[in-house]
Amino acid sequence: MRASSHLITFALVGVNVLIFILMGVSGVNLFEPDTQSLLKWGANYRPLSLEGEWWRLLTACFIHAGALHLLLNISGLLYIGLLLEPLLGRARYLMAYLLTGIIASLTSLAWHNVTVGVGASGAILGLFGVFLSMLISRLVEDAARKPLLISIATFVGLNLLFGMGGNIDNAAHVGGLISGLILGFAYYPALKTPGSARLRYRTLILPSAATLIIVVIGGLRIPDDIGTYEKKMKQFALLESKAQESLSAFKDFPRGAHRNSIEATGLECWDKNIKLLSEMKGLKLPFAVLPRIDVLSHYCALRKKYAVLVYKAIDEDTARYNDEISKCNEEIGAVLGELKE
């Protein structure tokens, strides 16, 4: 076969490798890249992808979490690309990679609330899905169909099996594979009648439109509890800072309406934070986060108690609350230590 019949395959391999090299040049560890580096380069992550950074659904298909990850995916891409691209043609083949990769990323978002997803494997499984549909619908000659069907089914089965363990995003694999199967059957009329330009353009336009609709509707329906949690924690930090400022400012004002306002503001901030934490408990969050919310609730209660005691001590110009203030301060220190751990 001519090299030109595999142009898109080689181009996709080149883009994946080039991005990996650029990551290394920028200082990313090429064997064990950290999460922040992957996110910086466009990894798929629910709180970011669902909050306007939709491009991550696609960029994640070109980023890899280490040299071995890249090598395995490139091997799979070359294997299926050499078989599939000449049968589909460049445009349909490229579309299959991109569309199934996007659906794989969306499936990953729907399944995982905190996973950082990267890798071409979802798109590659999508290509395998397309080829499987062609084998099932007998678009490949009978002599080659059975051995290829066994080979492809074995590859797919092993990938899904291995994906059940470790840190492999099997949701993306399943999403890519199923969308690839559907796309392959959508290609069937045009592949069966290769001379029809009308069918060719339909199989290019309609799947793209369908994918866009799925992404928009699916994205709106996927809950972003982690994103909501992070937003509430930012509100928490702002209110905490405001409460602490109110406490510091209280002693600098004489008695009067303004002093009462400062006191009310400080206590109101802690009440709002307690309410925020209560709302967080209703979110679907990782199990490890829930105990932290309980500790923060205790922290807020202690901070509020401490503020009330300090307000009283300053307002009454008395030392009779000193022991309670000291004890409360020690408890706050202990809770802060627990939060750091």
Is 173 tagged catalytic?
yes
* Rounded-to-integer distance, Cα 13 and Cα 80, Å: 12
Quote the pLDDT of residue 1. 45
Q: Could you tell me the sign of the dihedral formed by the alpha carbons of 53, 58, 60, 64, in that order? A: negative
Query: Which neighbouring-strand residues pair with 117?
Result: 44
Q: Could you tell me the sign of the dihedral formed by the alpha carbons of 200, 205, 208, 213, in that order? A: negative
Query: Which neighbouring-strand residues pair with 126?
Result: none
Query: What is the domain-level CATH number for residue 115?
Result: 1.20.1540.10
Asked if 268 and 231 sit in the same domain, the reply is yes
> Phi/psi of residue 44, each to 5°?
-90, 125
Asked if 280 and 328 sit in the same domain, the reply is yes
Asked if 241 and 104 sit in the same domain, the reply is no
Asked if 93 and 18 sit in the same domain, the reply is yes
Domain end: 194, 221, 248, which one?
Answer: 221
Q: Which amino acid is at 238?
A: L
User: 291 is in which domain, residue-wise?
Assistant: 225-340
The pLDDT tens digits along the chain (341 residues) read: 445 689 999 999 999 999 999 999 999 999 999 999 999 999 999 888 888 899 999 999 999 999 999 999 999 999 999 999 999 999 999 999 999 999 999 999 988 877 889 999 999 999 999 999 999 888 887 777 788 888 888 888 888 887 776 678 889 999 999 999 999 999 988 888 888 888 888 888 888 898 889 888 887 788 888 888 989 999 999 999 999 999 888 887 777 888 888 889 999 999 999 999 999 988 888 877 888 999 999 999 999 999 999 989 988 889 999 999 999 999 999 999 988 87
State both tokens at 270.
Answer: 């802690």
Asked if 196 and 145 sit in the same domain, the reply is yes
Q: What is the largest CA-CA distance in the chain?
A: 97
Domains held by the chain: number: 2
Asked if 84 and 125 sit in the same domain, the reply is yes
Find the catalytic residue in 121, 133, 179, 246: 121
Asked if 79 and 147 sit in the same domain, the reply is yes
Query: Which neighbouring-strand residues pair with 44?
Result: 117
Quote the pLDDT of residue 258. 80
Q: Which amino acid is at 55?
A: W
Asked if 170 and 250 sit in the same domain, the reply is no
Domain end: 189, 221, 253, which one?
Answer: 221
Asked if 333 and 192 sit in the same domain, the reply is no
Is 121 tagged catalytic?
yes
Asked if 273 and 160 sit in the same domain, the reply is no
Asked if 51 and 88 sit in the same domain, the reply is yes
Quote the pLDDT of residue 166. 67
Find the catalytic residue in 69, 173, 179, 246: 173
Domain end: 221, 238, 269, which one?
Answer: 221
**Helix or strand or coil: residue 1?**
coil
Burial class of residue 222 (count of CB atoms within 10 Å of its CB; 0-12, 13-18, 19+): middle
8-state DSSP, 44? B
What pTM, to 2 d.p., does this model score?
Answer: 0.77
Strands (E), 211-333: none
